[in-house]
Chain A
């Protein structure tokens, strides 16, 4: 007789106490940006989420991350309201829905930041992007550079890197150096190598803490789920290189270690441990968290959250180590390297099954498009399913069909346990 899964009993998910600190940390970050916007006491730089944030913080900028804003639009379930506006202005519905929802919201003069007292999104003095994720960030930032008539700088990183050669790292490191004179023209202070080293050291320390936070999920049962991590990653994205991120992750890590010590699990009855590949479905974060908990399933690791571990950063060699860290990033690598990373993660986190989210508008963050999923199955024998959706555009997601797939997958895993 098959084991049955009863979806009608919805278990309570234990909330992290640190969430209150997270809220304060993020509010303070946005307040600093708001002060800079209102008083112009500091210059504002926009940066891609895996761009050279350390360089910008070291030169006294307040740093704003449009991708973080895109995720806010997704999580607040407002992206669908804005995407059609961007599409009507000539952006394809098939390109990055962070971009289309962000630009659509801008065109409608709306932002979730208005709830925090912003009139609009912070006005940039300069924009800096790194193509290590995708080419779309260039088009996205260039749109705003044209609109605000401010400079936009590019770090051009090769994609699909297999062998991370010293020439690639050196080329990227040189680009980091080359943008400094342009940044100095806008910044209120000159570049200072010691300040840069200090920010790099802080970024390193913050990343190490973030890695340790994620690694607590190696414990069985896990004290944290992917759905927690997707929210609690905010500081490592937007405050990387600051003491604020270090302070926050010190608190979060202590809570998770305390959970492990007291055998407290993130979901009440962890039976299955899943790896999530690809972007979150931001608009379904909460309902998916409940669904997986009801299936006694903890998503313990993910490509997405693990992407913000830049522990190669080294203050003794800040440029080369920055280049190394930002080229070593999962999304920049060729499938062969990705397979190695995934194989290790599957083992380290005792994974029972993998869910590949093929995101309609984020092909670079969808790793099931070139057969990797089948090669990994052959190698690890860990089963997988693919679900089709999108990070922000909920119109691309068929919920009922996905639920059937996920429930069946968990039953499939239960039969093999």
Chain B
């Protein structure tokens, strides 16, 4: 029998299939859209096509209360912390950059959440900031990443506001600034917002859809805080943590 963990994110729904040895045997991700139930059922259908599933489903994230399948609901912050501690087994700081949230979590030596903080009520420092700028400039995530790799010098973005940041960038382009430098500035803007959330100490784990899809950001995090890691497929960790929290 296999268990399913689902993290219903604002942009993407992430699912993991976990075997009886508590190992992830499959991953699935799709856009969440407006129908949370449908997004979750898509994950369940994908996994149950090849494996026998044990209910309930273990969930976290937005809109999980609306699902029509038997479920156990979890805080995504607690779930993510569980999965991160399961990997590193030591106290650490976590910065998770998702579609609309950026979270800071401090995990203690027992693997429990000591404190946490989320971004304030705007998109500054979240995945939406990057997405919106990329969309307005008609650049894919891959190209965004490549531009930053090419950059020799950062061109700093001042604006907190996503919309005004685009206006600022358009002004920079008009004045002849180079795209690699601008894109590097955009990434560093996200990183600066993350470090503003709380003091990062000892060991930093960066997770979420943004480091998975924009790997350059991990390198940039390391420039600011050397002892930084980002596990592979880190956007699935909260879903995995949901399962870990509930099985012995």
* Chain A residues proximal to chain B, CB less than 8 Å: 1-2, 4, 6-8, 383, 385-386, 388-389, 396-398, 400-401, 404-405, 407-408, 411-412, 415-416
CB closest chain-A residue, reference B199: A374
Say yes or no: A7 contacts B82, CB within 8 Å. Answer: no
B72: Cβ under 8 A from any A Cβ? yes
Instruction: Give the interface segment out of B108-116, B133-141, B181-189, B214-222.
Output: B108-116
B200: Cβ under 8 A from any A Cβ? no
Known: A7-B65, A8-B65, A398-B121. A383 touches B75 (CB 8 A): no
Say yes or no: B75 contacts A407, CB within 8 Å. Answer: yes
Say yes or no: A2 contacts B113, CB within 8 Å. Answer: no
Say yes or no: B65 contacts A404, CB within 8 Å. Answer: no
CB < 8 Å neighbour of A415 from B112, B116, B121, B248: B112
Q: Shortest beta-carbon distance, A415 to chain B, in Å? A: 5
Q: How many A-B residue pairs have CB under 8 A?
A: 61
Q: Shortest beta-carbon distance, B54 to chain A, in Å? A: 16
Q: How far is the CA of A398 from the CA of B76 in the complex (A)?
A: 17
Q: How far is the CA of A411 from the CA of B113 in the complex (A)?
A: 9
Say yes or no: B121 contacts A388, CB within 8 Å. Answer: yes
Within 8 A of A (CB), among B147-194: none
B77: Cβ under 8 A from any A Cβ? yes
**30 pairs from A and B in contact (CB 8 Å cutoff):** A1-B246, A1-B248, A2-B74, A2-B246, A4-B72, A4-B74, A4-B245, A7-B73, A8-B65, A8-B73, A385-B116, A386-B117, A388-B121, A389-B121, A398-B121, A401-B100, A401-B101, A404-B62, A404-B75, A404-B76, A404-B118, A405-B118, A408-B77, A408-B78, A408-B113, A411-B75, A412-B112, A412-B113, A412-B116, A415-B113
Max chain B C-beta neighbours (<10 A), residue from A383, A386, A405? A405
* Chain B 93-119 per-residue mask, 1 if CB under 8 angstroms from chain A, else 0: 000000011000000000011111110
Say yes or no: A408 contacts B75, CB within 8 Å. Answer: yes
Q: Shortest beta-carbon distance, B156 to chain A, in Å? A: 26
Q: Shortest beta-carbon distance, B97 to chain A, in Å? A: 14
Complex contacts, B247 vs chain A, CB 8 Å = 1
Say yes or no: A388 contacts B76, CB within 8 Å. Answer: no
Q: How far is the CA of A153 from the CA of B80 in the complex (A)?
A: 56
Q: How far is the CA of A210 from the CA of B101 in the complex (A)?
A: 41
Say yes or no: A404 contacts B77, CB within 8 Å. Answer: yes
CB closest chain-B residue, reference A2: B245
Q: How far is the CA of A411 from the CA of B77 in the complex (A)?
A: 10
Complex contacts, B73 vs chain A, CB 8 Å = 4, 6-8
Complex contacts, A388 vs chain B, CB 8 Å = 120-121
Complex contacts, A385 vs chain B, CB 8 Å = 116-117
Known: A4-B74, A7-B73. A408 touches B116 (CB 8 A): yes
